[in-house]
Amino acid sequence: MGNPQTLDVLSRVFGYDSFRGDQQEVVDHVVDGGDALVLMPTGAGKSLCYQIPALVRDGVGVVISPLIALMQDQVDGLRAAGVRAGYLNSTQDPDERRMVEAEFLAGRLDLLYLAPERLRSEATMRLVERGPVSVFAIDEAHCVSQWGHDFRPDYLELSTLHERRPDVPRIALTATATPATREEITARLKLTDARVFVSSFDRPNIQYRIVPKRDPRKQLLDFLRTEHAGDAGIVYCLSRRSVEETAEFLSRNGIEALPYHAGLDAGTRARHQARFLREDGLVVVATIAFGMGIDKPDVRFVAHLDLPKSVEGYYQETGRAGRDGLPSTAWLAYGLADVVAQRRLIDTSEGDAAHRRRLSSHLDAMLALCETVDCRRARLLAYFGQQLDGERCGNCDTCLSPPETWDGTVAAQKLLSTVVRLKRERGQKFGAGQIVDILRGKRTPKVTQHRHDQLSVFGVGTDLGEGEWRAVVRQLLAQGLLAVEGDYGTLVTTDASDEVLFRGRTVPLRRDPARTAVRSSRTTSARAETVELDDEASAVFERLRAWRAAAAKEQGVPAYVLFHDATLRQIATLRPSTRAELGTVNGVGETKLSRYGDEVLGVLTS
């Protein structure tokens, strides 16, 4: 059962007593010199899959990673565990680089992190050709795929690397893996002979919630105050401006939030990212440019104020929450305006028709996830070709408070025929606002100006409120029974609309939950393995955190490089009195024990 050496490294270096999921099999396979393609969700423990083979096999493990800004932290983290690690990227000066290269050639490293852009230089290629390489690890391997959402041209050089060193086993890893992406990775990296390891993509500790958008910033503030006060998290917005405004709004309301987007200068971005990683409980408000590969384990929530463009993107972004396995929330506010905006973006996007169709099918899948009355997790997994055990997960909003459905056929007919009449009788097109005002019989200036109060459909929809009508429009758009057009988001019918108007197609709709939806408390989101700390343990945990913050600051590394929250929680519960006892805690390896053992025991007795 496995190679004893790998277990030894796992416990001695990393302080863990058993492998998780597929880790053992992957590690054994690569230690034996096999190629592997590893598909594992974020937080499942991909890093150990290549780090341990690198430590066990002779030579240096070379890791290709696009995350230049994080290499320093990754290397610091490994060094704290006693691993000899280094990196080569564009942030170094030539002298530093030469030193690392010499150590690599002499085999005095266990792991070398390499930025993909270095592969373009012949000097780097020659270096890799001459050096003692034990394994190539290709992290974030989906970056080689153009179908996915993070394509990096430099990744295409990876096949050259393989041609130069066909003797070295390769392990490619990613947390993004629709069947299409997977095929592309295999083809482009020529990994046809690799063994493929596919883990479940379920992230049981993440609670998925998608709420109707009303007053998004206020909803966000409520959510943070009631459920995530003092927690670290990421808020995603689509535009730079909305990033800036949201960060300011949160800060004004007592929640420390930093903006992050491509319009900020590199220094500011780096500073904000570093603070997020190093300090406890900060919120970053960002465009999607933020977060890939950030392995901060204690991100407690990911909130979206705008609709993500694809389920893959949504899964990636929300996956940044809860790497440590503790309960976390993925929260998305979504409304009619999002659908209109996204459709417009696609219509005006560059690229050919095939490209637009691809964007469109990505969006349709995302909308279906938003509008489903079934379990969100089951839907998400289905998207990745996987199945949930059982029908419902019990830890998403639709499971916790199942939405009602209603027969929206008549409402849909009223709405669609209003759109049709405007077009046919007046040759006009209008946006959702005007259509809803007509249906509700509101004599606004714009309605009287256009004499829309004289239409036969004027006021036929007083049975529904404005919010309800907007929900109808949104869902008809999501179902393709209605479409938007042009710069003003005007509504037009589709071929499928006729089925509703003339051919008896029924339209089941989801009723938006009332404003005061039942909010599950954090303790019910407990498919995650977590123990509630009693008062005394909580106090100890806080003291340990304070010690960790001070020690990390002194060393200039993120707090989690010393110990993760999960490790501190376990220490606070066990309250070990000897080094040997402390050594049994998950996440306390030999190097950390000898470096911090006395200090931690000191905190416990103080």
Residue type, 72: Q
- As measured in angstroms, the least distance from the Cβ of 44 to ligand ADP is 5
Question: Is residue 3 within the footprint of ligand ADP (CB under 6 A)?
Answer: no
Q: Which is nearer to ligand ADP, 86 or 322 (CB)?
A: 322
Report the alpha-carbon distance of residue 11 to residue 589 in Å, rounded: 6
Report the nearest approach of Zn ion to the CB of residue 384 (Å). Answer: 15
Secondary structure (DSSP) of 568-592: HHHHHHH---SHHHHTTSTT--HHH
Binding partner of 92, given Zn ion, ligand ADP, none, CB within 5-8 angstroms per partner class: none
- Choose which of 20, 98, 120, 164 interacts with ligand ADP (CB under 6 A): 20
Instruction: Based on the shown chain and the rule CB under 6 A, indicate whether residue 489 belongs to the binding site for ligand ADP.
Output: no
**399, two tokens:** 């499971």
**Residue linked to tokens 């020690």:** 551
Nearer to ligand ADP, 91 or 586 (CB): 586
527-566 mask for ligand ADP (x: CB under 6 A)? -------------------------------------x--
* Interface positions with Zn ion (CB under 5 A): 375, 377, 393, 396, 399
Over the range 130-161, which residues count as b (16 or more CB within 10 Å of their CB) and which as e? ebebbbbbbbbbbbbbebbbbeeebbbbbeeb
For residue 166, the tally of other CB atoms under 10 A from its CB is: 8
Residue where the block lists tokens 């499928």: 496
- Look up residue 142 and give its DSSP letter: G
Give the number of residues in contact with ligand ADP, rule: CB under 6 A: 18
Q: Which does 261 bind (CB under 5 to 8 A by kind): Zn ion, ligand ADP, none?
A: none
Binding-site partner at residue 116 among Zn ion, ligand ADP, none, CB < 5 to 8 Å by type: none
Report in angstroms how near the CB of residue 368 gets to Zn ion at its nearest. 15
CA distance linking residue 148 with residue 182, whole number of Å: 10
DSSP class per residue in 163-185 = HH-TTS-EEEEES---HHHHHHH
Instruction: Choose the one of Zn ion, ligand ADP, none that binds residue 295, judging by a C-beta under 5 to 8 angstroms depending on kind.
Output: ligand ADP
Q: Which is nearer to ligand ADP, 21 or 459 (CB)?
A: 21
Q: Is 16 in the site for ligand ADP (CB under 6 A)?
A: yes
CB of 77 to ligand ADP, least distance (A): 9
User: Helix H segments across 348-395?
Assistant: 353-371, 376-383
393 binds, among Zn ion, ligand ADP, none (CB under 5 to 8 A by kind): Zn ion
Nearest distance in Å: CB 324, ligand ADP: 6
- 48 binding ligand ADP? (CB under 6 A): yes
Kind of pairing, strands 85-88 and 60-64? unpaired
Nearest to 411, CA basis, from 367, 496, 475, 364:
475
**At closest approach, how far in Å is the CB of 393 from Zn ion?**
3
Our CB check for ligand ADP shows the closer of 362 and 592 to be: 592
219 binds, among ligand ADP, Zn ion, none (CB under 5 to 8 A by kind): none
Residue whose CB is less far from ligand ADP, 19 or 315: 19
Nearest distance, CB of residue 558 and Zn ion, angstroms: 33
Beta bridge partners, 396, equal 208
The verdict on 323 binding ligand ADP (CB under 6 A) reads yes
Nearer to ligand ADP, 75 or 473 (CB): 75
Return phi, psi of residue 257, to 5°. -135, 135
Full DSSP string of 283-301: EEEE-TTS-TT---TT--E
Q: State the Cα–Cα distance between residues 505 and 306, nearest whole angstrom.
A: 31
- Min dist. Cβ of residue 314 to Zn ion (A): 15
Q: What angle do CA 562, 227, 272 make, to 5 degrees?
A: 50
Residue count (the chain) = 606
Told to check if 45 binds ligand ADP by CB under 6 A, we report yes
Give CA separation, 523 vs 90, 234, 520, 526, in Å: 45, 21, 8, 6
Q: Which is nearer to Zn ion, 320 or 379 (CB)?
A: 379
Cα–Cα distance for residue pair 76/84, rounded to 1 Å: 10
Which residues have C-beta within 8 Å of that of residue 180, sequence separation ≥ 6? Answer: 147
Which residue is it, tokens 């007509």? 438
User: x/- string (CB under 6 A) for ligand ADP, residues 260-299?
Assistant: -----------------------------------x-x--
- Which residues of the chain form contacts with ligand ADP (CB under 6 A)? 16, 19-20, 23, 40, 42-48, 295, 297, 323-324, 564, 586
